[in-house]
Structure 1
Amino acid sequence: MEIAAYFIALGAVASAAALAALVAYWMLRPNQSRVDPALELTTWNAVADGLHNSNTDLIFWRDYFYLVHAASPFHLGSKRCRLVVRRSRDARVWETVAERKVPGEDIRDPKFATIGDRLFLYALPNRGLRAMPYGTVYAISDDGVHWSAFEKIDHPGWLFWRPKTYDGLNWYVGAYWHRHGKSILLTSTDGIHWSIVSEIYHGEGNDETDIEFLRDGRLLATARLEVTPDNPWGNANASTLIAVASPPYTEWHYAKSQVTRLDGPALFRYDGRIFAVARYQPGTRGRYTKLGSVFSRKRTSLFLVAENRLVYLSDLPSAGDTSYAGVVLCDGYLYASYYTSNIGRDYPWLVGMLVRSDIRVAKVGLDSLVRREPPGDGTCRLRGG
């Protein structure tokens, strides 16, 4: 019995030592982001105050850049979480102009829109530690500084992403169901009252649905397909949905890509093409590092989004818990806000969720982005809708 106890104790010590070595490796591993040197890229910290800052959006309105982000102790839900609104003339020096929260609840995934020359802020309130928002709220400002109280959108259970317009009059937004598994398209003329246009997709745990208009007025949507949401090991069959519809946007045609599971997408159009700034999972996909695994490394990256494929282009300097970008096109440049753990290290996502994260802004020459030659055409399979 003493020998058996000795070997049990020895095994426990060895396991603890192995775990400690793994954590030390995670914490000290140098960053291996792949930033394409052909890109005209500069990047800097916008917010670095020791909090877990996340979930950004960016807009240019009345001669100012406006940035919004969540500020919290960690990635999980927290009653201490608040949304911070900042503004800047140059996207480098920021002043805080407002803070918004839902008393007693977490709040996340803020999105801006300017509708009728008023600045709208949409966000997702959340209860408990898990990131499981239950609806959408909005606030309105006429000057970017003073905001109305949050009001609920009259579509309970639907989680809005980012409103877009093609003609400046009719607004559209992708929304996903709070229990995952389906997404819809809604439309509005005032940003307050929304009506359902169509179901974009149903199945495979789909959520986080962004949209962008093609040059000819057709609409492209992306969504992440999680298969089984919140699986810590990820999903071998997780993918990115690409859906396209012609006006009146009631019939959708689909492609899927496993280049990555496109978390937190921010789509934008330039030179007739659609691009995305979103989360990317590099490296091998093994037993514990399937798409969406908390043990894998993450990046904020640039992608070309074609109608039938997703093409990885380049990382932005990022690591750990990262992505959820906002984008502004201004004077020939893409300005992208995003959040990231320490870019000097390469934490797995799990570690990044628990430590500080900063808000960064990247400035990319749009012509250098268009000139870039994509490395292959991605991995996807097509099917009719």
Structure 2
Amino acid sequence: MRSHTLNRVGRLLPLLVATVAWAPGALHGADPKASPTLVSVKRIWDKAPHCAFTDLLRWKKKWLCCFREATGHGGDNGTVRVITSPDGGNWNSLAVLKQPGIDLRDPKLSIHPDGRLMLLMGGIVNLNGKYHTRSPRVAFSHDGHTWSPPATVLAEDHWLWRVTWHKRTGWAVSKLNEGRKPRRGFLYKTRDGIKYEYVTEMETEGISETTLRFLPDDTMVALIRPRWIGLSKPPYRKWSYTNIGQPIGGPNFLITPQGTMWAAGRKYGQAAKTSLATMTGTTFQHVLELPSGGDTSYPGMVLHDGLLWMSYYSSHEGGKTSIFLAKIKL
């Protein structure tokens, strides 16, 4: 693995990594003896031809899981469904969000500092089944059932992928450009989830889907598709990056109370798998493949009752892309 800091001087230039002070627990490397155990896995939703791109939230003593429903992975207009369960066993539909002529996708749930639920989505305009343009959408709810109409935020071509709230401020990375075009990523912050203030450019190669988390000393950690871990101290304008040496799709991670980082996403190889990994600020190691295959990944992750609960989607059972819930003993 190689670490570098990228600064923009007409183009991206690799530099030496600056030393970053880490919180206790996060300084240590990934445990080479880490052996998480899959306790159970269950298909929880398959009522549309293609159900994908999940997130998971524990809220008011119940579970919420959101995902996109459509006829395929892309090119058609998807809707966002929110389902709920008291115990993770039986699930019922709670809400469906849709916009005429818009492909709503990649939904992410969070709890706004004022207590409301916030749902962040991407909104794509397809013309004749091909991508044309996009912009992020947000919706809010007091009960998970009734949602405000999806409101457009930022400018056209932005793609805010996940908002992480820290000390009443939401932080998110937006990527610009699509496909094989050169991509740029920008860090934003928000107080209300609607208005976003530019912080800095995240200058690392091919930046795409990004999840942000915070250490107890306010260090911001970023897990970035296709293959980066980023670190920054307040005010988060200077970043160091580590190439983890392998691609990851749909990245998500969390930090335990003990300071251990667990990540999940699409593992590439002879066959795509949804996989759990240990990580630090400079290391990333897959340790458990979940039952999965084909079109798969985009996990939601929650620690609850001594287990990691993880939603994800996969098409390994009969070829139909469905939503699964796994429980894992770390």
CA contact (8 A) 1:77 1:127 kept: no
Listed as ranges, the matches of 1:178-257 within 5 Å are 178-179=177-178, 181-202=183-204, 204-225=205-226, 240-257=227-244
Deviations 1:279-335 (A, max 9, x none): 00134xxxxxxxxxxxxx211101122211211111111010001111111121111
Unaligned runs of 5+ in 2: 1-33
Report the 3-state secondary structure (helix = DSSP H, G, I; strand = E; otherwise coil) of the residue aligned with 2:89.
coil
1:279 corresponds in structure 2 to: 266
CA displacement at 1:245 relative to structure 2: 0.3
2:284 corresponds in structure 1 to: 310
CA displacement at 1:182 relative to structure 2: 1.4
Q: 1:130 to 1:57 in 2, by over 3 A?
A: farther
CA contact (8 A) 1:84 1:99 kept: yes
How well do the aligned residues superpose, as a CA RMSD in angstroms?
1.9
| Equivalent-residue separation in structure 2 for 1:38 and 1:245 (angstroms) | 29
1:91 corresponds in structure 2 to: 88
1:174 corresponds in structure 2 to: 173
Report the 3-state secondary structure (helix = DSSP H, G, I; strand = E; otherwise coil) of the residue aligned with 2:249.
coil
2:101 corresponds in structure 1 to: 104
CA displacement at 1:156 relative to structure 2: 3.3
Q: 1:298 to 1:98 in 2, by over 3 A?
A: same
Q: 1:218 to 1:132 in 2, by over 3 A?
A: farther
| Equivalent-residue separation in structure 1 for 2:192 and 2:305 (angstroms) | 28
Deviations 1:59-90 (A, max 9, x none): 111121111111111112212x2111111101
| Equivalent-residue separation in structure 2 for 1:92 and 1:205 (angstroms) | 39
| Equivalent-residue separation in structure 2 for 1:137 and 1:82 (angstroms) | 12
Q: 1:133 to 1:206 in 2, by over 3 A?
A: farther
Which amino acid in 2 is paired with 1:305? M
| Equivalent-residue separation in structure 1 for 2:304 and 2:163 (angstroms) | 19
The count of residues paired between Structure 1 and Structure 2 equals 290
Report the 3-state secondary structure (helix = DSSP H, G, I; strand = E; otherwise coil) of the residue aligned with 1:272.
coil
Q: 1:133 to 1:213 in 2, by over 3 A?
A: farther
Structure 1 residue runs of 4 or more that deviate by more than 3 Å after TM superposition: 129-133
Deviations 1:33-57 (A, max 9, x none): xxx9751521101112352110111
Larger radius of gyration: 1
More helix by share: 1
Unaligned runs of 5+ in 1: 1-35, 226-239, 284-296, 345-354, 370-385
- 1:269 and 2:243 matched: no
Which amino acid in 1 is paired with 2:234? P
Q: 1:312 to 1:139 in 2, by over 3 A?
A: same
Q: 1:123 to 1:133 in 2, by over 3 A?
A: farther
Identical-pair percentage: 29
CA displacement at 1:192 relative to structure 2: 1.7
